[in-house]
Amino acid sequence: VEGVDPLFLLQGGQILRVSTALSCLLGTPLRVRNIRAGRSQPGLRPQHLSGLEMVRALCDGKMEGGEIGSTEVTFTPGKIKGGTHLADTKTAGSVCLLMQVAMPCVLFAAAPSELHLKGGTNAEMAPQIDYTVMVFKPIVEKFNLTLDCIIKRRAVVKVMVQISPVKQLSPITLTDRGTVTKIHGRAFVAGALPVKIAKDMASAAVRCIRKEVRDLYVNIQAVREPDNEAFGTGTGIIIVAETSTGCLLAGSSLGKRGKSADKVGMEAAEMLLGNLRHGGAVDDYLQDQLIIFMALADGISRVKTGPITLHTETAIHFAEQLTKAKFTVTKSEDDGSSKDAYIIECQGIGLLNPNL
C-alpha cells in the first residue's frame, strides 16, 4: 500500500483494518509502510496489533513487523477458518474496531465463528458498542448475513460476537430515508457514579431534540450499569432515530472529567440532528463501515449519505485498489435532498465463499 494521498495516512488504523481484511479475503499478500506516519506516536499501537494478530490467526497467515511501534508490516494470508478466535487489545482500545477487521473475514470461513474480544466498549474516537448493536448490526444484516453480539462486561470488557459464514453477500439499496417514526436511546453510568448523571444527560438530549422534532415522543432510558457487568467508571449516551423505511441514524457522546452531563447529552442530540438534517439514509458513522461489504457483495449497492467523511474516502480508495470493485460518488439529485446529500454506488465483485 504505497503512493497514497498524505491525508489518508492520518487514517492509519483504518487503512490497516480495510487492507488486512481484504488481503485475508482475497488471498493477496500485503505490505503496508509508513504506518500512522503523521501521528505523534507513529507505528502500530496495541489495538492495531491485536487486530492484525487476530486476522493472522483466523487465516493461518504469516506476519512480519508485528510489534508495537513498527511502521512497516508484511502480511501473507492463508485459509480462513471458523471456530473460536480471541483478541485482547491489552488497553481500553475499542472492541468495535477489532470486530471491523475480523468480521468480513469470518463471513467467508468454512464454519461458524465466535469472536471473543476484550478491550474498551465505549472508547473515544471509535464506535460505541451500543452503536454496533443498535445501528450497525441491523443495517449490515441487510447484506444477507447474521451476526450476534453479546456484551459480557462494559468499560474495559468482553464482547462475544457470533457469525455464520455466507456463500455470497447480497447488495443493498439504502436511498429512501422515509420519515422518522421513533427516537429512543440510553444514557448510562458505570462504576461509582450516581444515576442522576444519566438522567441529566437524557433530559438535556430530549430538550435539544425537542427544538427541532416536536411531534415525536423521545424515549431515552437512564440506566446505571450493574456492577457485575461494568468494569471501571464512565458515562455515555446513544440516541437512535428509526424511520418508516427501516433506516437507523444515531448520535452519541461519552462523558469525561470536567464535561457536564448536560454537555454530553446535548452533543449526542446535536450529532443525531445533524445526521437527520442531511437527508442521508445512513449516518456519518456508518458510511465507512459499509464500504467493504459493498465491495464484496454480488451486484450494485447504492447508499444515500450526508457529506462523505475522510474515513469513507479512505475505505473506498483501498477497497477499489485491492478488490477492483468500482465505486462512484455523486451529489444526490432527489427533490427534498439537502445540498449535502450524496449517493455512493458500488459494483461489487461478488466474492464467493470457496468453503461452502
Three-class DSSP category at 234: strand
Query: Cα–Cα distance between 104 and 161 in angstroms, integer?
Result: 12
Q: Any binding-site annotation on 285? A: yes
Q: Is 14 assigned to a binding site?
A: no
Secondary structure (DSSP) of 73-91: EEEE------EEEEEE-SS
Q: CB-based contacts of 51: which residues, under 8 Å, 6+ apart?
A: 16, 17, 20, 87, 97, 98, 101, 102
Q: Which of 48, 85, 278, 311 is catalytic?
A: 311
3-state secondary structure of 235: strand
- The answer to whether 221 is annotated as binding is no
Q: Count CB neighbours of 176 within 10 A.
A: 13
Residue 25's contacts (CB-CB under 8 Å, 6 or more residues apart) are: 80, 104, 105, 108, 296, 351
Contact between residue 290 and residue 304 where contact means Cβ atoms under 8 Å apart: no
Residues in the chain: 356
CB 173 within 8 A of CB 294: no
317 has catalytic annotation: no
Task: Tell me the CA end-to-end span of the chain in Å, nearest whole number.
Answer: 31
**Which residues are within 8 A (CB) of 292 and not within 5 positions of it... i.e. 6 or more apart?**
18, 21, 22, 104, 315, 319
- Residue 165, all three cell numbers: 459464514
Nearest C-alpha neighbor of 275 from the set 240, 223, 313: 240
63, three cell numbers: 506476519
CA distance 116 to 176: 36
At 258, list the grid cell. Answer: 470536567
The residue assigned the cell 449526542 is 268
Q: What is the DSSP letter of 334?
A: -
Q: How far is residue 223's CA from residue 247's CA, in Å, rounded to a whole number?
A: 25
Annotated binding site for ATP: 100, 285-289
Annotated binding site: 100, 285-289
Active-site annotation, residues: 311
